[in-house]
A and B are shown apart, each in its own frame.
Chain A
Amino acid sequence: GAASIAGSASAQDALEPNPLEDITSYNNFYEFGTGKEDPMRYADQMEISPWSITVDGLCDNPGEYSLGELTEGLTTEERIYRFRCVEAWSMVVPWNGIELGDVLAKLGPKPEAKFVAFETTVQPENMPGVRRNVIPFPYVEGLRMDEAMHPLAMLATGLYGEPMPKQNGAPIRLVVPWKYGFKSIKSIVRISFVEEQPPATWNIINPNEYGFYSNVNPLHSHPRWSQESERVIGGGLFSSRQPTLMFNGYSEVAPLYEDMDLDVYF
């Protein structure tokens, strides 16, 4: 199922993952600062062990889960996904993790749960960006339930076969490859099942620039820059841009948005 879907998307252009150095030295993780190299510099201070995830809201199995309890019994697999940042750059990442839908199914969402919300850890003493309040913390994100249950969505716990580096959102993060990178919330400490559309950090900060859905869409430009093309990280000073694909190339998610005007629900 899932693997073959991911496979079909990636088969289009035989994705070549970026080297580990690219993936771990060019990050947006504002808890550690706004510079791309800040997460690499400061994330080692983040406390990730023990790690506990609060599950609450409209579900059958709320409670405090350790990382092991949350992922227990579920299949870990490698998924090589394109990762497209809203800032118009991209890379290819070989994630390791589990299907988000499998985890959510285990937590037993009630029928009234229409959305799932996520929250990132806040550790002021370990996070210089949090102390400077560069954006509101904790960082929060959310998905509509059918988006969250889509087999392409995953919770990643590693990359390149190693445990998730801290700057990439250790120990567990969301990966939603057809959406801009900021939807793929890092270092998750809370999963909530809710009825109403939950708040999402960048959408709160600037709703004109960042919609709740934030699907990769070359036709809907960011007010300050075009989304028609992207620069692949790691190509050097003279690398050329490549065209951005609708849903970041993962066209199998299109049915989720069939009846929606994606210029309104951007």
Chain B
Amino acid sequence: MAVTDTINSTLRKVPAWAIYVAGFLYAAWYFYLGLTGGLGVEPINTLERKYGLTAIQLIIAGLAVTPLRRWANINLMKFRRAIGVTAFFFVLAHFCVWALLDVQTLARVWADILKRPYITIGMGAFLLLIPLAATSNNLSVRKLGPKWRQLHKLVYPAAILAAIHFIWLVKGFPWEPFIYAGIIAVLLALRLVPKKRRQPAPRRATT
């Protein structure tokens, strides 16, 4: 597989921190556009949606790492943490724009979280991602051991909640949120495909 080899060897040369830098610059660029009229006449809503959409795209990217390695032989493992942490960064940015610039008062933020199901669901996704972001450092990986893998499966329900949150907030029937939900469903379903068991090594006679 020459193509995947080329892809993999090229990717090996890209440092993982490039994802953090690119993510931060991308978010900052859109914030700058919002400040300077580049996001149209209602920048708050546009920025809120942009950060939310980028967050769900990065969650999808993170979920794609394992299937890509298993079925396409493309190895993005070394980027997975950076993708995940950057996804969390965009969820946080999305939340901050919503709470601070859009809703603006803490009482209303709280009321919306309790009263509006699509916001409750989005908040649920956010909360599920907090422990993942908090344990994304090497120390936690070492300390938690096998529990770390279990804990980080919380990204599955978080992705499902994010997809529902997106579908629930639109008016009418645009395709976009359904396409994202479909991709997430496929990526999660792929994890249910059983791995081929390795043939057990023939037992040696003990003489």
When A and B form their complex, which 4 residue pairs have the shortest distance between CB atoms, in order from nearest? A22-B41, A135-B172, A237-B34, A134-B172
Residues of chain B having any CB pair with chain A under 8 Å = 31, 34-35, 40-45, 47, 101-102, 104, 108, 111-112, 115-118, 168-175
Asked if A213 lies at the interface with its beta carbon under 8 angstroms from chain B, I say no
Q: Are B116 and A225 neighbours in the complex by a CB distance under 8 Å?
A: yes
Residues of B within 8 A of A233 (CB): 41-42
**Across the two chains, which residue of chain A brings its CB closest to B116?**
A224
Q: Are B171 and A237 neighbours in the complex by a CB distance under 8 Å?
A: no
Residues of B within 8 A of A30 (CB): 172
Q: A25-B41, A237-B34 are in contact. Are A224 and B169 (CB under 8 A)?
A: yes
Q: Are A238 and B112 neighbours in the complex by a CB distance under 8 Å?
A: no
Chain A interface: which size bin?
A: 20 to 34
Asked if A199 lies at the interface with its beta carbon under 8 angstroms from chain B, I say no
Asked if A34 lies at the interface with its beta carbon under 8 angstroms from chain B, I say yes
Q: How many inter-chain contacts with C-beta < 8 Å in the A-B complex?
A: 58
Residues of B within 8 A of A36 (CB): 40, 42
Q: Are B44 and A239 neighbours in the complex by a CB distance under 8 Å?
A: yes
Give residues of chain A (28-77) contacting chain B, Cβ–Cβ below 8 Å.
30, 34, 36-37
Asked if A205 lies at the interface with its beta carbon under 8 angstroms from chain B, I say yes
Residues of B within 8 A of A223 (CB): 116
**Across the two chains, which residue of chain B brings its CB closest to A86?**
B171
Residues of A within 8 A of B170 (CB): 34
Residues of A within 8 A of B116 (CB): 223-225
Residues of A within 8 A of B102 (CB): 231
Q: Are A237 and B101 neighbours in the complex by a CB distance under 8 Å?
A: yes
**Across the two chains, which residue of chain A brings its CB closest to B174?**
A34
Would you give 30 A-B contacts (Cβ < 8 Å), ordered by A? A21-B41, A22-B41, A25-B40, A26-B42, A34-B170, A36-B40, A36-B42, A37-B40, A89-B42, A134-B172, A134-B173, A135-B173, A205-B172, A223-B116, A224-B116, A224-B117, A224-B169, A226-B108, A226-B111, A231-B42, A233-B41, A233-B42, A234-B41, A236-B43, A237-B31, A237-B34, A237-B35, A237-B44, A238-B101, A241-B104
